[in-house]
């Protein structure tokens, strides 16, 4: 950020690009003050903002059960989890700000639908089992996506992701533990868990994004070390991890084609309905409007609070100056 001085000549762009490429090739980290190509900066802001938005929108489906959690212990666990998600959003917006983005501007882009968030949060939570299934499958899929990002080439993002992943893994265990408890409960509880798994399984697989041959941003992200594995690789990993967990739980995953391939030791699974994914991504999911409307209301109805805080800070900065 400091102005160039005479004894430190400005390196030309080619030299800077070479230095950047060498850092990436050596698997070292790019830090906020380092030179970086504009495409790298923009792509990262897009990715981190989308991730931050997903954390914040992701508070809503489970947050809808906060007031009706079935025990005080479950209420405490859920409230702490939703609070963690707000915290994740904060780290991630901060990471985006190290690249020159502005949180308020990113929030506006979310509300104006100029930036996306994970489509999974456009599905409704119909029963308390959904809280457990979101923990197990949705957070599980998120972890598969995010653990490799702990090695992202961009330092602030990588460091934020380490903390995010640790907390997500608690959430996943808590979700799974809720489901185990419900499966040991009444017939109605077991039916609730199965119904929830039926509804969330396919959308969870879609969380990894389009298949590799239809993923527009993947190749460049891989080359820059922002992304470490392809969508299909991560999706396979998630399926392989989840099938044995479903068996322990005693639920059936809603895919008749799901079978262990004896040659590869991996699970084959049925074709994903990408038309549904595209519909939800295009804004036509069951809850898209509701999710955005709540963010808009939080911003607009409380704008006076933010204005007051700014006015107060200005007033008192002026007094103490």
Partner 1 sequence: MAHEETVYEALDHAHGGEGQWAFGTGFDEPLAGVDTTVPEGIDPADLGAYCLMLGDDALVLCQRLTQWVTNAPELEEEVALANCGLDLLGQARLLLARAGSVGVLGRSRERATASIPDEDALAYFRDPDEFRHSGLVEAPNGDFGQTVVRLLAASAWRLALLTRLRESRDPVLAAIAAKGVPELTYHRDHAARWVLRLGDGTPESHRRTQAGVDAVWPLLADLFTATDVETRLTAAGVAADPAELVDEVRDVLTLVLERATLTVPEWPTPQPSRGRAGEHSAEFTALLTELQSTAREHPAATW
Which 59-118 positions form the footprint of partner 1 (CB under 8 A)?
59-60, 63, 65-77, 79-80, 82-83, 86-87, 89-90, 93
Contact 85, 56 (CB under 8 A): yes
Quote the least distance from Cβ 70 to partner 1, whole Å.
4
Q: Judged by CB under 8 A, does residue 244 bind partner 1?
A: yes
Quote the least distance from Cβ 174 to partner 1, whole Å.
7
Contact 50, 116 (CB under 8 A): yes
Q: Judged by CB under 8 A, does residue 307 bind partner 1?
A: yes
Near partner 1 in 248-267, by CB under 8 A: 248-249
Quote the least distance from Cβ 48 to partner 1, whole Å.
15
Q: Is the dihedral of CA 152, 158, 164, 170 positive or negative?
A: positive
Contact 171, 81 (CB under 8 A): yes
Q: Judged by CB under 8 A, does residue 297 bind partner 1?
A: yes
3-state secondary structure of 147: helix
User: Which secondary-structure segment (H or E) carries 301?
Assistant: helix 288-301
Q: Judged by CB under 8 A, does residue 320 bind partner 1?
A: no
Quote the least distance from Cβ 247 to partner 1, whole Å.
9
Near partner 1 in 138-197, by CB under 8 A: 140, 143-144, 147-148, 150-151, 162, 165, 169-170, 172-174, 176-178, 181-182, 184-186, 188-189
- Pick 36 or 57: Cβ nearer partner 1: 57
Q: What angle do CA 272, 274, 276 make, to 5 degrees?
A: 110
Q: Return phi, psi of residue 154, to 5°.
A: -95, 115
Tell me which of 30, 56, 106, 281 binds partner 1, using CB under 8 A. Answer: 56
Nearest-CA neighbor of 158 among 28, 65, 309, 1?
28
CA–CA distance, 78 with 68 (Å, rounded to integer): 11
- Pick 36 or 147: Cβ nearer partner 1: 147
Stretch near partner 1 under the rule CB under 8 A, chosen from 36-44, 236-244, 257-265, 266-274: 236-244
- Pick 93 or 277: Cβ nearer partner 1: 93
- Pick 113 or 315: Cβ nearer partner 1: 315
CA–CA distance, 141 with 101 (Å, rounded to integer): 27
CA–CA distance, 158 with 170 (Å, rounded to integer): 19
Stretch near partner 1 under the rule CB under 8 A, chosen from 12-20, 194-202, 255-263, 293-301: 293-301
- Pick 70 or 286: Cβ nearer partner 1: 70
Q: Judged by CB under 8 A, does residue 34 bind partner 1?
A: no
- Pick 187 or 257: Cβ nearer partner 1: 187
CA–CA distance, 136 with 313 (Å, rounded to integer): 43
CA–CA distance, 249 with 36 (Å, rounded to integer): 47
Q: Judged by CB under 8 A, does residue 222 bind partner 1?
A: no
Token duo for residue 121: 């949060």
- Pick 180 or 258: Cβ nearer partner 1: 180
Q: Judged by CB under 8 A, does residue 243 bind partner 1?
A: no
- Integer angstrom CA distances of residue 290 from 209, 287, 295, 298: 23, 5, 9, 12
Q: Return phi, psi of residue 261, to 5°.
A: -90, 110
């Amino acid at each position: 950020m400091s102005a160039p001085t005479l004894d430190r000549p400005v390196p030309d762009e080619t030299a800077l690009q070479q230095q950047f490429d060498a850092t990436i090739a050596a698997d070292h980290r790019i830090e906020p003050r380092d030179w970086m190509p504009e495409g790298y900066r923009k792509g990262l802001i897009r990715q981190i903002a989308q991730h931050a938005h997903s954390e914040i929108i992701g508070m809503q489906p489970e947050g809808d059960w906060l007031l009706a959690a079935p025990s005080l212990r479950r209420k405490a666990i859920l409230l702490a989890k939703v609070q963690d998600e707000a915290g994740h959003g904060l780290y991630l917006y901060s990471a985006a700000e190290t690249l020159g983005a502005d949180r308020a501007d990113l929030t506006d882009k979310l509300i104006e639908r100029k930036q996306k968030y994970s489509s999974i949060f456009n599905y409704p939570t119909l029963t308390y089992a959904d809280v457990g299934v979101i923990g197990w499958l949705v957070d599980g899929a998120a972890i598969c996506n995010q653990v490799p990002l702990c090695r992202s080439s961009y330092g602030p993002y990588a460091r934020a992701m380490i903390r995010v992943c640790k907390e997500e893994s608690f959430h996943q265990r808590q979700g799974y533990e809720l489901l185990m408890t419900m499966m040991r409960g009444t017939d109605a509880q077991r039916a609730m868990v199965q119904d929830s798994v039926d509804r969330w399984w396919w959308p969870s697989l879609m969380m990894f994004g389009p298949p590799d041959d239809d993923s527009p941003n993947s190749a460049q992200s891989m080359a820059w070390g922002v992304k470490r594995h392809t969508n299909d690789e991560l999706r396979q990993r998630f399926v392989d991890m989840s099938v044995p967990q479903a068996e322990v739980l005693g639920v059936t995953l809603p895919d008749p084609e799901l079978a262990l391939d004896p040659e590869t030791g991996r699970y084959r699974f049925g074709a994903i309905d990408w038309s549904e994914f595209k519909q939800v991504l295009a804004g036509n999911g069951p809850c898209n409007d509701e999710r955005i409307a709540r963010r808009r209301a939080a911003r607009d109805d409380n704008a006076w609070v933010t204005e007051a805080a700014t006015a107060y800070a200005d007033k008192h900065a002026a007094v103490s100056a």
